[in-house]
């Protein structure tokens, strides 16, 4: 596991600040500088300027200025810095970097930090982690709210679709049943012949003892059994 996985940004920055002088004294820093340039931590013109220096004193001074500028101008990139210089190929060439990595891994660097400064650094990292956690929580709330609104909107659309009748759900108006018109009883002086009543054009009520039924006029004319109970 790399130290960057469990150390906060402020701790890595503090360790970087305390290691600038040591790193600036590394011999033959060309590979080190190329690694920084390839990871966009060093501009090409500064790389060329230090690479052309002949004096060891000037090289160390130029290298320290590069590291110092990185701390002041790009503190957000310190974690990337340690990740790229702790590659095995770089560590094999620079024993100083391997020792620094070991100090990070076993935590010995923290014993050299004054308690007050270490406490402030830890608090800053905790505050940063808390801010990140709160941002993530707020983002989750917003996402949940959006999903809830989308769900309610979809449900409203479905309800509207269900309320609107489609062609298959149209109901054809039913025709009212025709009212049966019963003939009025014959008035005084009129012939009382029920065979002429509209109600009994097709059938006629008959009684035989205690039995009652309907006499079919058509079946009677055809000579068939025509009384139905």
Structural domain spans, the chain: 3-113, 198-228
Q: What is the pLDDT of residues 71-109, one digit of tens each?
A: 999 999 999 999 999 999 999 999 999 999 998 888 776
Residue ranges of E strands in the chain = 203-208, 211-216, 227-228
- φ/ψ bin of 59: left (φ > 0), alpha (ψ from -120 to 50), beta (otherwise): alpha
CB 80 within 8 A of CB 70: no
Q: Which residues contact 215 (CB under 8 A, 6 or more apart)?
A: 203, 204, 205, 206, 226, 227
pTM, whole model, 2 decimals?
A: 0.49
Q: What is the pLDDT of residues 122-180, one digit of tens each?
A: 565 555 555 545 666 676 777 767 667 776 766 665 565 555 555 544 455 565 655 54
pLDDT of residue 208 exceeding 70, the answer is yes
pLDDT of residue 54: 92
pLDDT of residue 32: 97
In this structure, how many other beta carbons lie within 10 angstroms of the beta carbon of residue 48?
A: 11
């Amino acid at each position: 596991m790399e130290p960057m996985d469990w150390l906060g940004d402020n701790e890595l920055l503090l360790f970087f600040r305390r290691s600038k002088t040591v790193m600036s004294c590394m011999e033959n820093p060309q590979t080190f500088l190329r690694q920084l340039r390839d990871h966009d931590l060093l501009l090409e013109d500064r790389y060329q300027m230090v690479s052309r220096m002949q004096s060891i004193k000037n090289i160390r001074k130029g290298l320290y200025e590069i590291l110092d500028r990185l701390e002041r101008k790009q503190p957000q990139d310190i974690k990337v810095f340690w990740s790229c210089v702790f590659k095995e190929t770089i560590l094999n060439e620079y024993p100083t970097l391997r020792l620094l990595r070991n100090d990070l891994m076993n935590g010995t660097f923290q014993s050299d930090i004054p308690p007050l400064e270490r406490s402030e650094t830890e608090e800053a990292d905790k505050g940063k982690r808390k801010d990140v956690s709160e941002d993530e929580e707020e983002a989750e709330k917003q996402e949940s709210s959006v999903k809830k609104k989308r769900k309610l909107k979809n449900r409203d659309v479905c309800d509207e679709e269900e309320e609107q009748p489609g062609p298959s759900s149209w109901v054809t108006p039913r025709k009212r049943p025709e009212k049966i018109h019963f003939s009025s009883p014959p008035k005084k002086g009129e012939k009382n012949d029920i065979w002429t009543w509209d109600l009994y054009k097709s059938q006629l009520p008959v009684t035989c003892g205690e039995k009652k039924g309907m006499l079919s006029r058509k079946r009677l004319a055809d000579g068939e059994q025509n009384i139905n109970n």
